[in-house]
Amino acid sequence: MNTNPMHQFEVYQIGPEINLGGVNLSFTNASLFMVISATLILLLLFLGTKKKSLVPSKIQFITEMSYTFVAKMMNDTAGASAKSFFPFIFTLFMFVLFANMVGMLPYSFTVTSHIIVTFVLAAAVFVGVTILGFAKHGFKYLELFVPKGVPVILLPLIIIIEIISYLSRPVSLSVRLFANMMAGHTMLKVFGGFVISLGLLGGWLPLGFSVALTGLEILVAFLQAYVFAILTCIYLNDALNLHH
């Protein structure tokens, strides 16, 4: 058994190597667990909406709860004008949530503990929101970088700071999710390793910690998906309504 706590983040190839124009597109364990998360979401939504009974079954209840949860979150943060983006936010939230939760299972792989995965998600949000802002407001969207009531002398400085602040959005969005997932899983593995190495005599304390940390990690897994979705809503609101 490998006791290296970072071993769980290794990406390896499953099946044949696929090379498309010099780009390695092989199916890896990361892709496998993305497919598993997506399949689980589809399965949940399919089973949950199949029999629309007035008194919901458990699975229908979970489906409806996730819908109302995201709908309420969007309503609170982005307002009614963002209603048409519900499918996007819902997909994003469910994917991140399921990727995090599937990662909590033993022997699984946490897709969101890789910065490239979270950064692609965040960059998609960032580029999409920017295009949306320009499409909706034209060049007036640049007013986002010019806060009201600033003296003209300070303006060049403020604009640069605002641009850096705007560009930092995808970075903070992706790093937050990635760092939380990776740190949590590393910590779990380290404490798990302590249980083995301290043996029957001293292993009980880290075992207790492991149990507590697992609970905390499940909370963090949910929380990070929530934060990711809610920040996307806030950025969407900025682009749609043009104010800070």
Nearer residue to other proteins within complex by CB, 52 or 244: 244
How far apart are CB 155 and other proteins at their closest, in Å?
Answer: 14
Nearer residue to other proteins within complex by CB, 187 or 227: 227
Cα radius of gyration rounded to whole Å, the chain = 22
Structure tokens at 215: 């609970």
How far apart are CB 224 and other proteins at their closest, in Å?
Answer: 8
Nearer residue to other proteins within complex by CB, 52 or 243: 243
What is the Cα–Cα distance from 200 to 194, expressed in whole angstroms?
A: 11
CB burial class (10 A; 0-12, 13-18, 19+) of residue 86?
middle
Nearer residue to other proteins within complex by CB, 153 or 164: 164
Residues within the interface to other proteins (CB under 8 A): 157, 160-162, 164-165, 167-169, 171-172, 175-176, 179-180, 219, 223-224, 226-227, 231, 234, 244
How far apart are CB 205 and other proteins at their closest, in Å?
Answer: 24
How far apart are CB 165 and other proteins at their closest, in Å?
Answer: 4
Residue 235 contacts by C-beta under 8 Å, 6 or more apart in sequence?
A: 125, 126, 129, 169
How far apart are CB 216 and other proteins at their closest, in Å?
Answer: 9
Nearer residue to other proteins within complex by CB, 67 or 222: 222
- Mark 9-47 as b/e (b = at least 16 C-beta within 10 Å): beeeeeeeeeeeeeeeeeebebbebbebbeeebeebbee
Element holding 23 (H helix, E strand): strand 23-24
